[in-house]
Amino acid sequence: FYAFPHALIILVAALALADARLYEAAESLRASSARIFFTITLPSVKYGLMSAAFVVFTLAITDFGAPKVVGGDYDVLATDIYNKVVGQQNFAMGATISTLLLIPAGVAFVLDRIVQRRQMAQVTADITPLGPKPHSPLVQTAIFIFCLLLAVFVLSIYGIVIVGAFTRYWPYDLSLTIRHFTRFYVAGAHHSAGALLILWNSVKMATITASVGTIVVFCNAYLVEKTRRLNWARSVLYLLSIMPLAVPGMVLGLSYIFAFNDPRNPFNFLYGTMGIMAISTIFHYYTVPFLTATTALKQMDPEFEAIGESLEAPFYRTFWRVTVPMALPAVIAIATYFFLNALVTISALVFLFVPGKEVAALAAMLLDDAGESAQAMALSLLILVTGLVARGLFSLLTRGVKQRTQAWTQR
């Protein structure tokens, strides 16, 4: 369930690249639907399937939240790192297991990059996009039932969280109450302000992450895509920008302990603050926003910079008055990605928080670990509502920006 959206997006993108001409030729030769599926559809999306498999593998092997909450006694590498570091204070063994976790994640990352390059090589200018076609009523009904069952399954998970948040003692006493939203005890601190105090910590951290991360990512992407000097430096910068995708959150959090907890480090003052959690989250989710920004910048004509140079305009003026306004939808998408992921991330922050600075997702895990399932559900519900509200606000902002700055592209 956790990896379902990632795999779905990859497969939808792969299917969108299918060439309609192949299907038309197969239908004209009266090939059966099964033969078309196995001889045309599967070969055309094989790289997408492989990429989805690698992504799901990486997410599954590096995930910490789900194994910690529902895994029970079943040990995985991510939870073993947590047990060694937090439970036994054995940082050396935690670092050793982190290295083992980094190896399969890194291999899957390299293979996924190779597959993605081959996938893009299939796209040509002559391709005819394949659109949806009507099928027989029986097939349409079967597809509808399948999608309906899948939707019911997904919604039932959210439904259990909603019901559990308002019950007195899940799942034994199902009488309704709102006390789980007003007062609880987590991570050694009693929070009389209830869940809203913890949620506010998450919103602050997510806002810092989105603001700083968007600026850093977009400026970095601009240097990689739009500068014309020091090609070797641009290549190194690009490589460093996609590497965080291969680093599991647990490994990242443990490395931050070793780096920032050292008194000799001039940035030691960041340890135990909201700043180090924001920095860790930015680095953890850096690659996808970076690729989003580079894609948006690649779509812009390089002549904009050439015209700016011919008019003797400094590069920062061209950047601020031309590049940024044209890329605003991508900038908002980057901010949205950072904000929403900062709301729900756990793995990289589990080693970095201090009592009083817990974020909501982490507090929900700690509450469930302490047996307070109903309070964990209440906090999870607040995270869900906050994420939906933020997503709606970002969507409205994107629509307004497109109407004001992108109207010329619709002509």
Which whole number is the average pLDDT over 237-253?
82
Alpha carbon distance 51, 85 (integer Å): 33
pTM for the model stands at: 0.80
The DSSP H or E segment spanning 173 is strand 173-176
Confidence of residue 361 (pLDDT cuts 50, 70, 90): confident
Q: What is the pLDDT, as a whole number, of residue 304?
A: 61
Q: Which of 207-211, 334-338, 399-403 has the lowest mean pLDDT?
A: 399-403
- On whether the CB atoms of residues 170 and 373 are closer than 8 A, the answer is yes
Q: What is the pLDDT, as a whole number, of residue 408?
A: 52
Q: What is the pLDDT, as a whole number, of residue 188?
A: 47
- On whether the CB atoms of residues 359 and 348 are closer than 8 A, the answer is no
- On whether the CB atoms of residues 4 and 160 are closer than 8 A, the answer is no
Write out pLDDT tens, residues 145-154.
Answer: 998 998 898 8
Query: Bigger pLDDT: 215 or 408?
Result: 215
205 three-state secondary structure? helix
Is it the case that residue 193 has pLDDT exceeding 60?
no
Average pLDDT, the chain: 79
Is it the case that residue 374 has pLDDT exceeding 50?
yes
Q: What is the pLDDT, as a whole number, of residue 186?
A: 55
Alpha carbon distance 252, 269 (integer Å): 19
Q: What is the pLDDT, as a whole number, of residue 20?
A: 76
Q: What is the pLDDT, as a whole number, of residue 211?
A: 93
Torsion on CA atoms 297, 303, 305, 306, rounded to nearest 10: 160
Is it the case that residue 295 has pLDDT exceeding 90?
no
Is it the case that residue 204 has pLDDT exceeding 50?
yes
What's the farthest any 2 CA atoms get from each other in the chain?
74
Is it the case that residue 334 has pLDDT exceeding 70?
yes
Query: What is the SS3 assignment for 223-247?
Result: HHHHCCCCHHHHHHHHHHHHHHHHC
Is it the case that residue 208 has pLDDT exceeding 90?
yes
Could you please state the CATH topology (level 3) that the domain comprising 178-404 is classified under. MetI-like fold (1.10.3720)
Query: Bigger pLDDT: 377 or 193?
Result: 377
Q: How far apart are the first and last CA of the chain?
A: 41
| DSSP-derived secondary structure letter, 261 | T
Domain spans, the chain: 1-123, 136-165, 178-404
Q: What is the pLDDT, as a whole number, of residue 152?
A: 92
Is it the case that residue 118 has pLDDT exceeding 70?
no
Q: What is the pLDDT, as a whole number, of residue 314?
A: 64
Which whole number is the average pLDDT over 137-148?
88
Q: What is the pLDDT, as a whole number, of residue 41?
A: 81
Write out pLDDT tens, residues 93-104.
Answer: 888 888 888 888
Using alpha carbons, select from 390, 361, 389 the residue that is nearest to residue 202: 361
Per the rule left: phi > 0, alpha: psi between -120 and 50, beta: everything else, 350 is alpha
Which whole number is the average pLDDT over 355-370?
81
Is it the case that residue 236 has pLDDT exceeding 50?
yes
Residues with Cβ within 8 Å of 113's Cβ and at least 6 positions away in sequence, in order, are: 242
Confidence of residue 189 (pLDDT cuts 50, 70, 90): very low
In this structure, what token pair is assigned to residue 249? 């959150």
Is it the case that residue 185 has pLDDT exceeding 70?
no
Confidence of residue 133 (pLDDT cuts 50, 70, 90): confident
Which whole number is the average pLDDT over 27-38?
83
